[in-house]
């Protein structure tokens, strides 16, 4: 009996010491919102989304390649369809396009005047279809954590409409 009691007492002492000295292992660390925002904000080291054809280009050339691929693809898609307007106008719309973590595009928001929306009620659906037809991109990478991230960007588009007489 003595042997079991000593073993039990020693086990309790070891467990107690582990708990007392190991408490710091179970404490959570608080990270301030400022530190999270600083780590999450975009930096020059992070990699923007790209298409394979734009790989290897730097700075403005890369940005121009990426933007022209998107705008040309959207323009070509819209040119295939005869989107009609019931009035003449020439205005600019602003599309906010999201690229998700897998590199797929989606129209996040469309900023267009009431005049355009009234004159071309099918425009938004046509733009959604055009953006859905974009080829998959290589998504943005947040390099400090090494993971893919979703990004959004603004793309202005000039819309001109003339009535056929």
Phi–psi pair at 163, nearest 5 degrees = -75, 140
Quickly tell me which residue has 């947040």 as its tokens. 142
Looking at residue 12, its pLDDT comes to 63
pTM: 0.70
Looking at residue 5, its pLDDT comes to 47
Q: Which residues of 27-64 are buried (b: 16+ CB within 10 A; e: fewer)?
A: eeeeeeeeeeeeeeeeeeeeebbbbeebeeeeeeebee
Give one DSSP letter per residue of 56-119, joined into a string: T--HHHHHHHHHHHHHHHHHHHHHHS----SS-EEEEEEEEEEE-TTS-EEEEEEE--HHHHHH
Looking at residue 105, its pLDDT comes to 96
Extract the residue ranges of the chain whose pLDDT is less than 50. Answer: 1, 3, 5
pLDDT in tens, 11-30: 665 655 555 555 555 555 66
Looking at residue 42, its pLDDT comes to 59
Q: What is the DSSP letter of 26?
A: G
């Amino acid at each position: 009996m003595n042997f079991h009691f000593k073993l039990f007492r020693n086990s309790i002492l070891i467990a107690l010491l582990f708990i007392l000295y190991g408490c710091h292992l179970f404490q959570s660390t608080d990270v301030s919102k400022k530190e999270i925002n600083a780590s999450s904000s975009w930096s020059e080291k992070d990699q923007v989304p790209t298409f394979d054809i734009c790989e290897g280009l730097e700075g403005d050339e890369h940005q121009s390649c990426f933007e022209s691929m998107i705008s040309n693809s959207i323009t070509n898609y819209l040119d295939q369809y005869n989107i009609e307007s019931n009035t003449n106008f020439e205005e600019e719309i602003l599309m906010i396009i999201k690229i998700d973590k897998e590199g797929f595009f989606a129209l996040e928001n469309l900023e267009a005047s009431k005049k355009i929306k009234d004159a071309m009620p099918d425009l938004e659906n046509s733009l959604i279809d055009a953006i859905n037809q974009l080829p998959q991109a290589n998504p943005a990478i947040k390099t400090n954590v090494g993971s893919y991230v979703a990004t959004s960007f603004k793309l202005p588009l000039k819309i001109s409409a003339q009535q056929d007489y």
